[in-house]
Amino acid sequence: MKRTAAALAALLLLGLSATACAEDGDDSGGGDGGAKSNTIKSGLKIAFLPKQVNNPYFTTAGNGGKTAVGEFKGTYSETGPSEASASSQVSYINTLSQQKTDVIVVSANDKDAICGALNEARQAGTKVVTYDSDTKPDCRDLFVNQATAEGIAKSQIKLISDAVGPDGGKIAILSATANATNQNAWIEMMKTELAKPEYSKLQLVATVYGDDDDQKSFTEAQGLLAKYPDLKGIISPTTVGVAAAGRYLSGSAYKGKVALTGLGTPNQMRAFVKDGTCKAFALWNPADLGYLAAYAAGALASGMISGKEGEKFTAGKLGEFTVGKNGEVLLGEPFTFNASNIDQFNF
Amino acid sequence: MTALAERPGDTRTRGRVVAQRFFVVRELGIGLALLLLIVITALVNPRFLAAQSIKDLLLGSTILAILATGQAIVVITRNVDLSVGSVLGLSAFAVGTLFVSAPGTPIPVALAMGVALGAACGAVNGLLIAAARVPALVVTLGTLYVFRGIDYTWATGKQVNAADMPAGFLRMGTKAVLGVPVLALFAVVVLVFAGYYLRAFRSGRELYAIGSEPAAARLNGIPVGRRIFGAFVVSGALAGFAGVLYAARFGTLDANAGINSELNVVAAVVVGGVAIFGGSGSVYGAALGAVLLTTIGAALPVLGVSPFWQRAAVGALILAAIGLDRILMARVGERLRVIGGRSVAENAPDQRKGARRA
Amino acid sequence: MRRSYAWDLGIIVALVLFVAVAGQTIEGVGSPRFWRFVILEVIPVALIALPLALVVITGEIDLSVASVLGLTCTVLGQLWAWGVSSLPLLIVLCLLLGAALGAVNGVFVTVFGLPSLAVTIGTLALYRGLAYVVLGDRAVANYPTTWTRNAIAAIPGLTIPWMILVVVAVAVILGVILHATPIGRGLYAIGNNAEASAFAGISVARTKFWLFVLTGAMSALAGVFWTFRFASARADNATGLELAAVAAVLLGGVSIFGGRGGLVGVLAAVVLLATLRNALQLADVPANALTIVTGSLLIASVVGPNVATQARDALRRRRARTAT
């Protein structure tokens, strides 16, 4: 009995591996060579893969993408990890690729880590568009950027300088994850901006990471003030971070004494703008970003563009866009929200 | 209580006094360590004792202390409950969803719902462990997964935003009465109740007996299964309660609330003097352990140590605490043997022990 | 002691059945790429679960395995960031690190006599904490593409990664030791009754010590693979993987009380769990929700036999009573 059972088990395992033995011949993805079409094909499967799914910023962007995909009669889906982790994104990329998605629209948690999976997906025929946070240029076909890093940095530093006042003082940055491409690009530009003579009174003392996790961001904000009691301002260029920092400050003894600015959504920041914790913050319209990314994805998958500099395509109601250097498409400039205009928005 | 003749020099009393003294020393030791840490940190940076700073410290340790109280009750019976983090997350999200869909809900109703949900989860654990006689480690490992999975299924893609929660509820999370946060008062009330129950009620003391020697406890007529079931229900209920407080404190809730917190809870309990092999320790010690761990986390950045050392410190503390407990157990065992040996020589005819029903 | 292969067979049958059913209903299941991704997930879990099974057979447990993996990842990343570029050297250093970390567990359990559950919960926290000390919040992700590609490269002519051969080799070696040598029989003996085994001349302490060392070294190897597979070394790599490994060990038929179980079932359980997860993910069940499946299987695999035994005993008692 023992030996037969063992033999049977071994045979079954061998049988299993035999089914897996076939070489992966198969699917060339949609052919892109040949004549350029000038309408987006219908029936395209577009999948959004944000940094994390339970983040209102990405939910809004996804809704914009969904509208766009509906306009060109494709199929929209959104999936992703609950925590902003690069390894989790790899697993979703693999699944989407197996499901024969036409384009993956991804906001990368790490510029290197998901490259392997993305390239494997591209080899199997899926196109890749990054939005919000890029990867290395050679693992994707297009990058849809919300604003230039310089534009964002300039706006943030100006806002904190106005909020802190002419006497200046110590400021700190509460970022998202330590490896997020977009965060690091913006922080670098902010440091360059701070070196300018008009900001000489501002001193950047620390950069901490809240991992786009509300509780961690909250605790990090708390820690900043414990370590630097004379801190005058916090910049948090991430919607989760600025909301968490706002909540901490507004419930503490530092309300009104420590300035806060960052990139936030109007709905999350409304209460803090109204009670004075945060005078002004910036963002762009994430729905527009998603909308543009979806149209770019559609154009790419239909062969209308291929990511080369100078190519043009139309993104529905947003108008015409031109592909820039390194396959980058720019949405526009950051927009400043404050008490006078915040009630006009709902996202 | 047990019908003991309180004769001076009675073996059992002296033994019990010896055991008790060792473990009171253990709790005092934690309290002392805590005090020392606070004093040293305050010397380095006096702002550590500022009102806001103390308030943050108390708020930060409240949730952990409540979880630790429930965990202590379970560990005393020689079991462990690894699912507390998942129960907290589930309860927090449930309360958040409740408030978003019915903003007028009174706070006590939300509290009751969270506790009930937690108790239900604890009952699942207790049933599997007590009825199916399966090691708690395995069952609660499984329910950690299952409850968290339910939380994810419910919450994926959704998030309860602080902006959508009733202001009164969130204020409870930061309000302070005479400088002491309301949340911390909740924790103190829970702690005192639990401590009193374990000490003064027979069923409470039976938990210790079960943890010391389950077979003997069963033979002595203690309804072991029912007591263990009860312990897990309490642990679950307290985790549910902690979930409601979590929702009040942080406001923004997603599927990841409370993730990985089971480790900190076990650490707090072990560091607080509750022996992992059951039968000894108190909820006060566990709560002190929770406060100590939170204080270490807050003190490290002030002392200039990279906050990344905090997790490593937690691990080292667990190992030190277990080692210390083992040494203490050995010493107590030795002392009891000596007392027992001496008493055999002195009181040979009196060695048959009398009735135990109380 | 005769070993019953019933459970192992049961797991394999369950796997085959599931693949057959899912292959018809979920698109993509059973395709070569599907198996590729399943095997990629199986490799690190199997490397950990196999020696872990031996530890559990002797009546102990090691919950620190995923933290050893994480710490190895970060040390590997940091060494690379400092300029150590020789791959063999990196691998050897990592294996030594894993062995040392396992040895620490072993010393606490065998020399100081502390319960392995508590010790490994402590080292789980300690090693993960040290991983954060090494790399902080950062990740090291700029390895040469040849390394990252080779780590997951397929066996020529197939789609399955070549690393699975390493796993199979480990399984065969450990399996032979366990089932066909006196050392292996000694492990079962220790799990059943450590005192009696000691009297029988088996060096219980030394055996357990070396098992912990082995588990540590294998976890480190899994860490090296993990780093190159995901092309990223982060302090939170593989957080929670110890639960997947324990689930696989218990689902594979190894008794938590020690003294029973074998490696065929464990390997099959690892594959089954990975197949389940990947298949359900293809069916658009969110990956995180799949933890319900793993958790339920874990509980069922332990509650099932216990309840069955209790029912059987109750039945036997009733029959005995009515017989008299």
Q: Which tens digits make up the pLDDT trace of B64-118? A: 999 999 999 999 999 999 999 999 999 999 999 998 888 888 889 999 999 999 9
Residues A44 and A162 occupy one common structural domain? no
Residues A216 and A226 occupy one common structural domain? yes
Mean pLDDT lowest among A134-138, A234-238, B221-225, C298-302: C298-302
Among candidate residues A283, A304, A319, the one where a domain is terminated:
A283
Mutate one of B75, B145, B322 to test the C interface: name it (highest C CB count within 10 A).
B145
- SS3 of residue A196 by DSSP: coil
- Subunits in contact with chain C (3 or more CB pairs closer than 8 Å): A, B
What is the β-pairing status of strands A103-106 and A127-131?
parallel
Mind listing the pLDDT tens digit for each residue in A1-23? 444 444 455 555 544 444 444 44
State the average pLDDT over residues A309-337: 89
> 0.95 cut: is pTM over it?
no
Is C323 inside a domain boundary? no
Res A205: pLDDT: 93
Residues A183 and A234 occupy one common structural domain? yes
A9 in contact with chain C, both atoms CB, cutoff 8 A? yes
B304 min Cα distance to partner chain A (Å): 9
Rounded-to-integer distance, Cα B29 and Cα A298, Å: 66
> For chain C, how far is it from start to end, CA to CA, in angstroms?
33
Is A346 inside a domain boundary? no
Q: Is the pLDDT of residue B59 over 90?
A: no
Res A32: pLDDT: 42
Rounded-to-integer distance, Cα B273 and Cα B290, Å: 11
Residues A10 and A140 occupy one common structural domain? yes
Residue numbers of the domain that contains C248: 2-311
C292 in contact with chain B, both atoms CB, cutoff 8 A? yes
Res B346: pLDDT: 64
Hey, which residues 123-162 in chain A have their CB within 8 Å of chain C? 124
State the average pLDDT over residues A18-39: 47
Q: A267: which chain B residues are within 8 Å (Cβ-Cβ)? A: 161, 163
What residues form DSSP beta bridges with A314? A320
Chain pair A-C, CB pairs under 8 angstroms: 118
Instruction: Look at C125 and B308 and tell me if their CB atoms are within 8 Å.
Output: no
Tokens of B306: 């990279």
Q: What is the largest CA-CA distance in chain B?
A: 74
Is A344 inside a domain boundary? no
Give me the residue from B48, B163, B255 closest to A268, CB to CB.
Answer: B163
pLDDT tens for chain C, residues 1 to 324? 345 678 888 889 999 999 999 888 888 888 888 999 999 999 999 999 999 999 999 999 999 999 999 999 999 999 999 998 899 999 999 999 999 999 999 999 999 889 898 899 899 989 999 999 999 878 888 888 888 888 888 888 888 899 999 999 999 999 999 989 999 999 999 999 888 888 888 889 999 999 999 999 999 999 999 999 888 888 888 887 888 899 899 999 898 888 888 899 999 999 999 999 889 888 888 766 777 888 888 888 888 777 877 888 888 888 888 775
B157 in contact with chain A, both atoms CB, cutoff 8 A? yes
Mean pLDDT lowest among A271-275, B222-226, B348-352: B348-352
State the average pLDDT over residues A319-338: 90
Is C45 inside a domain boundary? yes
B315 in contact with chain C, both atoms CB, cutoff 8 A? yes
Instruction: Look at C298 and B138 and tell me if their CB atoms are within 8 Å.
Output: yes
Instruction: Look at C303 and B139 and tell me if their CB atoms are within 8 Å.
Output: yes
Q: What is the largest CA-CA distance in chain C?
A: 80
What is the β-pairing status of strands B176-177 and B180-181?
antiparallel
Tokens of A75: 């199929």
Is A133 inside a domain boundary? yes
A104 compared with B12, residue with greater pLDDT: A104
C6 compared with A320, residue with greater pLDDT: A320
B232 min Cα distance to partner chain C (Å): 16
DSSP conformation letters of A218-241:
HHHHHHHHHH-TTEEEEEE-SHHH
Is A341 inside a domain boundary? no
Residue A103 to residues A69, A118, B170, B244, C264, Cα–Cα distance (Å): 12, 11, 42, 41, 41
Residue numbers of the domain that contains A109: 5-146+285-332
The structural domain count of chain A equals 2
**Structural Rg of chain B based on CA atoms:** 22
Tokens of B179: 């400088």
Residues A142 and A9 occupy one common structural domain? yes
Res C241: pLDDT: 87
Is A339 inside a domain boundary? no
CB-neighbour burial class of residue A114 (10 A; exposed 0-12, middle 13-18, buried 19+): buried
- Which position has the token pair 């592909």? A323
Residues A82 and A189 occupy one common structural domain? no
Rounded-to-integer distance, Cα A19 and Cα B222, Å: 57
What is the β-pairing status of strands A280-283 and A335-338?
antiparallel
B39 in contact with chain C, both atoms CB, cutoff 8 A? no
Q: What is the DSSP letter of A40?
A: P
What CATH number does residue A268 fall under?
Answer: 3.40.50.2300
A256 in contact with chain B, both atoms CB, cutoff 8 A? no
Res B353: pLDDT: 46
Instruction: Look at A178 and C137 and tell me if their CB atoms are within 8 Å.
Output: yes
Is A337 inside a domain boundary? no
Residues A17 and A142 occupy one common structural domain? yes
Look at phi and psi of residue A45 and say left if phi exceeds 0, alpha if psi is from -120 to 50, else beta: beta
Res B343: pLDDT: 64
Res A112: pLDDT: 83
Among candidate residues A247, A266, A283, the one where a domain is terminated:
A283
Residues A321 and A227 occupy one common structural domain? no
What CATH number does residue C264 fall under?
Answer: 1.10.3470
Tokens of C299: 């509980």
Is C103 inside a domain boundary? yes
Is A24 inside a domain boundary? yes
Residue B56: partners with Cβ closer than 8 Å, 6 or more residues away: A222, A226, A252, B298
Pair C161, C39: CB distance under 8 Å: yes
Q: A90: which chain C residues are within 8 Å (Cβ-Cβ)? A: 230
Tokens of A223: 């820690």
Q: C310: which chain B residues are within 8 Å (Cβ-Cβ)? A: 132-133
Mean pLDDT lowest among A224-238, B6-20, B161-175, C215-229: B6-20
pLDDT above 70 as % of chain A: 89
Residues A233 and A118 occupy one common structural domain? no
Res B352: pLDDT: 46
Rounded-to-integer distance, Cα B231 and Cα B239, Å: 12
Give me the residue from C125, C133, C288 closest to B314, CB to CB.
Answer: C125
- SS3 of residue A209 by DSSP: strand
Report the residue of chain A nearest B297, measured CA to CA. A223
Rounded-to-integer distance, Cα A54 and Cα B164, Å: 15
DSSP conformation letters of C51-73:
HHHHHHHTT---TTHHHHHHHHH
Res C262: pLDDT: 86
- SS3 of residue C197 by DSSP: helix
Instruction: Look at B134 and C302 and tell me if their CB atoms are within 8 Å.
Output: yes
The structural domain count of chain C equals 1
Q: What is the DSSP letter of C154?
A: B
Q: Phi, psi (5° rounding) for residue C258?
A: 90, 165
Res B124: pLDDT: 95
Is C157 inside a domain boundary? yes
State the average pLDDT over residues B334-358: 59
- Subunits in contact with chain B (3 or more CB pairs closer than 8 Å): A, C
Mind listing the pLDDT tens digit for each residue in B112-159? 999 999 999 999 999 999 888 788 888 998 899 899 889 888 887 677
Nearest-CA neighbor of B272 among B83, B74, B79, B69? B69
Give me the residue from B139, B149, B319 closest to C299, CB to CB.
Answer: B139
Res A88: pLDDT: 82
Res B1: pLDDT: 45
Is A340 inside a domain boundary? no
A199 min Cα distance to partner chain B (Å): 28
A254 in contact with chain B, both atoms CB, cutoff 8 A? yes
Mutate one of A136, A179, A183 to test the C interface: name it (highest C CB count within 10 A).
A179
Q: B53: which chain A residues are within 8 Å (Cβ-Cβ)? A: 226
A271 in contact with chain B, both atoms CB, cutoff 8 A? yes
Residues A266 and A313 occupy one common structural domain? no
Look at phi and psi of residue C248 and say left if phi exceeds 0, alpha if psi is from -120 to 50, else beta: alpha
Is C261 inside a domain boundary? yes
Q: Is the pLDDT of residue A239 over 50?
A: yes
Residues A160 and A267 occupy one common structural domain? yes
Mind listing the pLDDT tens digit for each residue in B234-278? 999 999 999 999 999 888 787 778 887 888 898 899 888 888 888
Give me the residue from B60, B174, B254 closest to A251, CB to CB.
Answer: B174
> Which residue type does B245 have?
L
